[in-house]
Amino acid sequence: AQSVAQPEDQVNVAEGNPLTVKCTYSVSGNPYLFWYVQYPNRGLQFLLKYITGDNLVKGSYGFEAEFNKSQTSFHLKKPSALVSDSALYFCAVTLTGGTASKLTFGTGTRLQVTL
C-alpha cells in the first residue's frame, strides 16, 4: 500500500519570505512523486514531479521540491512567496510504472501568504 502524509493543515508565510510545504510518503518500491495546487472551486494544477535523476526538481511558478530518499520526503519550496501563491497544495505518490497506476494524495496543506 502507498500513502502520503502532509503534516500541516495550514502554513502561513509573509510575502517575500521563503516557504516550505512538507510531504512524506510510503511506498513499497520506487516512487513517482507529484505536487499539485488547487485554487478555490477549481481542479488541480500540476506543479512538478520527481521520477528519477536529480533530487531537486524545479516546476511551475518558481516552485521546487527536493526528493530525499532516506527521509522519504518530498517537500515543496519557494524562495520568495507571493500573495497569489495562496491556495491548497496536494502531494501525491504512485509507484514507478507511471500514472496509469493510481495516485494517492495527501490531505492537502493550505498555504496562506500575507502582505
Partner 1 sequence: GAVVSQHPSRVICKSGTSVKIECRSLDFQATTMFWYRQFPKKSLMLMATSNEGSKATYEQGVEKDKFLINHASLTLSTLTVTSAHPEDSSFYICSAREPDRDTQYFGPGTRLTVL
The rounded distance, in Å, linking the Cα atoms of 106 and 90 is 6
Instruction: Work out whether 72 is an interface residue with partner 1 (CB under 8 A).
Output: no
Using the minimum distance from each CB to partner 1, give the nearer residue, 43 or 53.
43
Instruction: Work out whether 41 is an interface residue with partner 1 (CB under 8 A).
Output: yes
Give the residue carrying C-alpha cell 532516506: 70
19: number of Cβ within 10 Å? 21
Of residues 11, 106, 111, 113, which one binds partner 1 by CB under 8 A?
A: 106
Residues belonging to the chain: 115
Instruction: Work out whether 100 is an interface residue with partner 1 (CB under 8 A).
Output: yes
Closest contact distance (angstroms) between CB of 16 and partner 1 is 28
Instruction: Work out whether 32 is an interface residue with partner 1 (CB under 8 A).
Output: yes
DSSP state of 103: P
